[in-house]
Amino acid sequence: MTAVAHSSHQNEPAPLTKEQTRIPISSAHRPFTKRPIRLSDALDFWSFAGAAANVAMQMARPGVGYGVAESKVESGALMKRPWKRARTTTQYLAVAILGTEEERMAYRKAVDSVHRHVRSEPGAPVKYNAFDRNLQLWVAACLYIGFEDTYQLLQGKMNDEQAEAFYASSSTLGTTLQVTEDMWPKTRAEFDVYWNEACRQAVLDDYVRAYVDDLLNLRMIHWYLRLPFRNLLKFLTIGFLAPYFREQMRLEWTAADQRRFEHLFVFVGFVNRFIPRFLRHSGSHALMADLRRRIRKEKNLV
């Protein structure tokens, strides 16, 4: 009995570490303000530089990857309606972070109407349902990682106290949909435990990897827009992916690439400090204004 138990334990995969599941942040924190940092402070337009990487991370979980790739909801399909999908996703983030409870409920209802059609067929090799709270928790966790990474690239690495304050209001990234408050890790340390464990379930196969490759190469937009931006987007996307996800996606990234990526954000972070907050955050506030107009005029939200 002891020998069998020992053998089973030996076959378990080694737990993932933070070095594998997070991108490195080297510079010290240099905040704009001395007040506690909030998630809303990360709504900088540069926060969306890692959007493609975040989608790739989300899709690495098979239930999410197949749900997106096989979705029959063409009105919001990423590869067929990329601009609309970008608007609805960024608007979700804006309302989750800046919206009132009533506005979040309205957006939840609109998203639910679409999610009802996103579920696997009977007998499908990969089972998924857009109402699966565990899959939604994974997506919300990826979104949080994206905000924390971009904020720290621009402002420097937070200490534990700052990170806890930043994390404190993040649960709405999930609870704006079906994730319950008790499912969201209570503390930043508990989130790390959840994240490293959940990443073990993020395993790409060839089908989803091909879909992600189309995304990374901007094959969903016209060639004349693709050519000038493809290389920059691919560079940013790979840079925003932790080593574990790069391995899953079979992407190359050298030490020289990492230095260029870090130097880019040192420069961007420096320039960013001279841009007024209302300009840096104007995109999210414009999305909230559009949402309120749609609610007022009873138009479709997604």
**Predicted confidence (pLDDT) per residue in 109-134, tens digit:** 999 999 998 999 998 999 999 999 99
Q: Cα(40)–Cα(170) distance, rounded to whole angstroms? A: 9
pLDDT at 8: 41
| pLDDT above 80 (res 9) | no
pLDDT tens-digit readout, 146-170: 999 999 999 999 999 999 999 999 9
% of the chain exceeding 90 in pLDDT? 71
CB 148 within 8 A of CB 42: yes
For the chain, strand residue ranges (E) read: none
Question: What size, in residues, is the chain?
Answer: 302
Q: What average pLDDT does this structure show over 260-278?
A: 92
| pLDDT above 60 (res 221) | yes
In sequence order, the β-bridge partners of residue 157 are: 28
Mean pLDDT of the chain: 89
Q: What single-letter amino acid sits at 15?
A: P
- Which tops the pLDDT comparison, 227 or 169? 169
Tell me the pTM.
0.91
- Which tops the pLDDT comparison, 45 or 239? 239
Question: Between helices 223-239 and 255-272, what is the axis angle to 10°?
Answer: 100
pLDDT at 5: 42
| pLDDT above 50 (res 3) | no
Domain ranges of the chain: 35-296
